[in-house]
Amino acid sequence: MNAHTTVGQLTVKPLPNCGAEVLGIDLNNLSDSELAAVKKAYADYGIIFFRDQKLTEDQHIAFAKKFGEIDINKFFPHIDGYREIAKVGKEKEQKTNIGGGWHTDHSYDQVPAMGSILVARQLPPEGGDTLFANMYAAYETLDDETKAQIANLKAVHSNGHVFGSKAYYNNEERTEFANDEAVGEAVHPVVITHPLSGKKALYVNPGFVLRFEGQTMQESPPLLHKLFAHAMNARFHTRFQWKPGSIAFWDNRATWHFALNDYHGHDRLMHRITIAGVALN
């Protein structure tokens, strides 16, 4: 899995620690064998990156639909005329960015989204990279005692502290996320068997998990923070530098991501489509 693979002009180039680049394709003109290679790379690596693509909004939707149903986010503003496309933006006078901490999308849903396809639309002159973390490697490298401790644990994933009307994303400069009716929780195993790869992955994230099932928010942090700190080690990470035409397509069950917020005074706009997944076990 660490060697380059090629299908026609298409090359899958693994990156250190996390993910792979898929080069030599045009996402608007995918042959069946290229689509199969993209699906395989996605299942093998948990996140794939594309460069130099030109997708309109309709083409972004058409590409997403090759992988499943679109899961429309309940909180994000969407772009004009396209409910399927979430607007992930920061304007030059804003200070808070979206996704500026380790998290994975939609884990607060009982059937969490499979993946997210993020297309760069407007980039700052410098900065605004995204970090991705490999949750297979994070799980595999836990010590045996910790693996035994979490083997049968479940975690509660909540979103009220992020998207509620009094929460993080609803403040003096952002109010567009508030949707108290959609706020809720879901319970998932701390270690999942990944539905595509069959491998075990660590499935707790700092953005949405506040406690283990059956434990309080006072009891949970020692072990939970130990797991978070472990996965935050840079040896599991890759840093993606966006350019015009760049696309990242990540699996929310196999990775975490973190949008760096180091470009104050400039606009950054990304379009995200989230694809429906399956219940996890």
Question: For 169-267, where are the E strands, in sequence order?
Answer: 185-189, 191-193, 200-202, 209-212, 237-240, 247-251, 255-259
Q: Which of residues 111-130 bind ligand OGA (CB under 6 A)?
A: 116, 118, 130
Q: Work out what residue 246 binds among Mn ion, ligand OGA, none; the CB cut-off runs from 5 to 8 Å by kind.
A: none
Q: Which of residues 91-120 bind Mn ion (CB under 5 A)?
A: 99, 105
Is residue 4 annotated as part of the catalytic site, yes or no? no
Interaction between residue 257 and ligand OGA (CB under 6 A): yes
Which of 101, 79, 97 lies closest to 89 in space, CA to CA?
97
Angle at 135 between CA 247 and CA 64, to 5 degrees: 30
Interaction between residue 34 and Mn ion (CB under 5 A): no
**Shortest distance, position 242 Cβ to ligand OGA, whole Å:** 8
One residue of 18, 41, 135, 270 binding ligand OGA per CB under 6 A: 270
What span, in angstroms and rounded, lies between the C-alpha atoms of 273 and 70?
A: 7
Q: Which residue, judged by CB position, is nearest to ligand OGA in the bound state?
A: 99
What span, in angstroms and rounded, lies between the C-alpha atoms of 175 and 98?
A: 13
Across the beta sheet with 237-240, what order do the strands follow? 237-240, 130-134, 255-259
Catalytic residue (one of 103, 106, 157, 194): 103
Interaction between residue 275 and ligand OGA (CB under 6 A): no
- Contact in structure between 74 and 213 (CB atoms under 8 Å): no
In the numeric block, which tokens belong to residue 54? 């030109």
Catalytic residue (one of 60, 71, 105, 106): 105
Interaction between residue 251 and Mn ion (CB under 5 A): no
What backbone phi and psi angles, to 5 degrees, belong to 54?
A: -130, 90
Nearer to ligand OGA, 203 or 212 (CB): 203
Residues known to be catalytic: 103, 105, 257, 272
Which residues would be at the binding site for ligand OGA (CB under 6 A)?
Answer: 88, 98-99, 105, 116, 118, 130, 257, 259, 270, 272
